[in-house]
A and B are shown apart, each in its own frame.
Chain A
Amino acid sequence: MRAATWTGVNEVSVETVPDPTLLNDHDIIVKVRKTTSCGSDLHLLGGYIPFMRAGDVLGHEFMGDVVEVGRAVRERKVGDRVVVNSFIACGTCWYCKQELYSLCDNGNPNPGITEGLWGQSPGGCFGYSHALGGFAGSHAEYIRVPYGDVGAFVVPEEVSDLRALFASDAVSTGWMGAELAGTKPGDTVAVWGAGGVGQMAARAAMLLGAERVLVIDRLPERLAQVREHVGAEVIDYSTTDVMAELRELTGGRGPDVCIEAVGMEAHSPGVHGTYDQVKQQLRLQTDRPSAVREAIMACRKGGSLFVLGVFAAAVDKFPIGAMMNKGLTVRGAQVHGQRFTPRILEHMARGELTTEHLATHVMPLEQAPRGYQMFKDKEDGCVRAVFEP
């Protein structure tokens, strides 16, 4: 089959690779209809998560048709149109029972790397390096999905492929941030980053009853999408003092809930940005955390921050004093998609959650290298490049 592979830092190519086969009894094989680039891939491509081998198949956010099922699969059937969550979870360990699916104990058979880095190993993820299990990704004609009954969800008939696709990862992630940060009716929620994840966090916050939702970015086409398709307010950080604006908009309190959807390559103007970039380049810190810092400073006393953006290891100038003295709750996680996907598909079926606008560039899989280039450079207003094998 054809597949898009990582071949080196900022290099993607499309190659002919062997077809996947069932390896475990709980596996299913999915014929991919649509598979999308995600902001997380940019960290991989750029070499910031250096556990990729040349030839690894990329992609973790996808949907398609079940074409084969293993002997222990009970619920999924050949012919089901499914959306599959990006993290691989067994459904039976203690973490899965707590609905903390991305922390599954049985999703990454190679936990030694992440245990060494972080003290404990989270679960495995498709197409996301040998640190997270080394599973082949979805930018291919077929993909093997472990624990098919747990990670693959049948898409309701009324939901289009392009809408369902993003339930896999972007919407689940955004929803997780809004819900686990404790968004309640009456809250003001601020979201950093207007990519697929940030936009969906904003939409989820609205569906959870937030009074006011503000999304912060600098890319005009993304801010326009937030206004038009999400229905939230926007702040352009390239022309506005974000902290001052947030204080003014919240009666001096600051947002009740802050959601960071930017990650370790955060852009920032001025001295902080230069400082972080130089430090990252000199290899004195691994991540650039400017949005996390800003969110902590902006958050109201006793408020909460959810870090959705991916970070690999260590940062510098983390405002721990503000976090402690203001009594903040700070959480983060890789996506517990299996927990939120059923609800998300219902909202999608009712038309309350639409995602088609995120797919600004839909193209054949053969064009994946060009698609990633556009996505990385945010060229031609690219929000997500979606590939059709």
Chain B
Amino acid sequence: MEAAVGAAEFPMTPLISIEKVTKVYHLGEHDIMPLQGVSLQIMPGEFVAIMGASGSGKTTLMNILGCMDKPTDGKYLLEGQEVSRLGKDELARLRNKKFGFVFQSFNLLSRTSALENVELPLQYWNTMSWSERRQRAEAALKRVGLEDRMDHYPNQLSGGQQQRVAIARALVNDPAIVLADEPTGNLDSKSEKDILTLFSELNATGITVILITHNPEIGAQVKRLIRIKDGRIVENA
């Protein structure tokens, strides 16, 4: 645990640091402000759960953290680098290299095998050979325990298996951070447990996991819980 020792001696740069981030949507006459000045720091290797009522701004925050969206105002430092002023292509590159996304609705390409779904992020921003891509996708699927389902199509897999394919896709590029927006929202409790165990295992290998959930049990299990209400952080422990 050299990293931990190092962290104790020199204060580590936060992986993610946002300061007074706001987001405003202009809808006709009035504005909607799902984020009203959120400040937050996340260190490498953390496992964070974000909870809050529906419409409180969790997804909006997650989209900004994942470089899918830009804040209206405020600062965002990713590994100490200011990202809120980067162009679209640079943000795409960051999404490809630094982040892995897991969605509530899986978002797998239908009529495309599990393996090819997992290969998708490798289609961009790299010059890997075809066989290397394949190897990495196979390794990622092995990591989520689906080595015997590589050639299956999404409609031949259970919901839990589909979400594991999606997690393999999020892992294939060795991301620093995995962002999961209600990843178990569409799953039964057994699959939910499996998926959470998987996230814990990933976190144990050093990947930072940020998870949105409505399940208080999960909130109770994780190392750190952030509660959001009406676009503001109300609990940060």
Q: Do A and B bind each other?
A: no
**Which residues of B are at the interface with A, using a C-beta cutoff of 8 A?**
none
**Which residues of A are at the interface with B, using a C-beta cutoff of 8 A?**
none
